[in-house]
Amino acid sequence: MSYILFLQHGWADTCRDISHLSRSLADPQTITYAPDLGLLNTWLTITPLITKVEKIAAAAIATSDLPWRIVGHSMGGLIWLEILDRHPEWLPKVHSLVLVGSPVGGSDLSRLFDPWGWFPLIARDLATNRRPIAEAIASQVPTLSIVGDLGNSTDGTVPVGCSQFAHANFVSLNNLRHVALKNHPQVASAIQQFWQNPQIAAISTDTASILITKLRSLDLTEIDNLNFKHAQIYKTYADGTKLWTWKNLWQVTHVYVSAGQQCIYSAYASWQEQQKLAIALANC
C-alpha cells in the first residue's frame, strides 16, 4: 500500500531522531514528511508550529491523493490533533493516527510551571486538555496511543493516564523513558502491528472506566501513582473497583482509582478545583 507518512517531533527537539523512526516504518514508495520546527521555536508558543505543519499538509494534499499515516511524538501528537480539529475535511484521507507519549489530557509538569496559564509560552499550550478533540478524531480515525512506563505509571515526563482517551487503542511499553519513545524499535514494532489491522477502539463500560470518565470530565491534573501508597479508600464498588483519596502537606486533594491490586488512575485537583472535586466525589 502506498501512502504519505507524516512524522512530527515534539518539544525541545528537532526532526533528527524521529526521522530515524521512518527507516523502520517506511518503504521505498513512501512519501515522508518530517518537518523540523526549530528547537528554540518549540519553547515559545504552539500556534506558529501548528501553522507550519498545517501548510506542509495542505501542500501534500495539492500534490497527491495518497492516504496519510500520521505519527507524532509528544507535542508533535498535539500539533496533529489541532490540525485535524481545524480540518475535519481531511479526516477521510487519514489511514491512521499514532500518538507517542503525547500529553493529551494536559501536561502535569506544565501545569506546575504555569498553573494559571499566565505566561504566553509553551507550558501553557502543553498544559491544555485536548482530550475532547482527541476523542472526536479517534471516533472517526483509527488511533493508537503509545506510552512508556517506568513503573509508577509515567515515562518520566508524561503520566500514562494523560495519554489515554476514548476510542483510541492503547499500548504501554515497560521501562521506556519519554525521550526514548521517539525512535525506539519497540515503538516501531507497535506501530507496524497496529497498521496491520487499524481499528477504532470500543469504549469500555466497566465500573472503573465509567468512574475514570467522570473524573476526567473535571479536567483534573493526571499524575504518576507514586503517592498511591498514602491514599485511603473513599468508596468500594460492587465489582471491587475502589476510589481512593489523599491530601498532601499543602492540602491538595489527590484521587485514585484501582482495579484489583492495580492503580489505574491518578490525579489531583488544584486549589481552585477543590470544591468541584468534593462535589463530584460525593456523587461518584
Beta strand spans in 195-252 (E): 221-222, 232-236, 242-247
Residues of the chain scoring pLDDT < 50: none
Task: Give me the CATH code for the 4-196 domain, please.
Answer: 3.40.50.1820
The reported pTM is: 0.96
Distances (CA, A) of 114 to 58, 139, 272: 33, 31, 14
What is residue 35's predicted lDDT score, i.e. its pLDDT?
97
pLDDT tens digits for 63-117? 999 999 999 999 999 999 999 999 999 999 999 999 999 999 999 999 988 776 6
Q: Please classify residue 45 by burial: count the beta carbons closer than 10 Å to its beta carbon, then call 0-12 exposed, 13-18 middle and 19+ buried.
A: middle
What is residue 118's predicted lDDT score, i.e. its pLDDT?
65
Domain positions in the chain: 4-196, 207-282
C-alpha cell at 63: 500534490
What is residue 119's predicted lDDT score, i.e. its pLDDT?
66
Picking from 193, 153, 194, the residue whose alpha carbon sits closest to that of residue 172 is 153
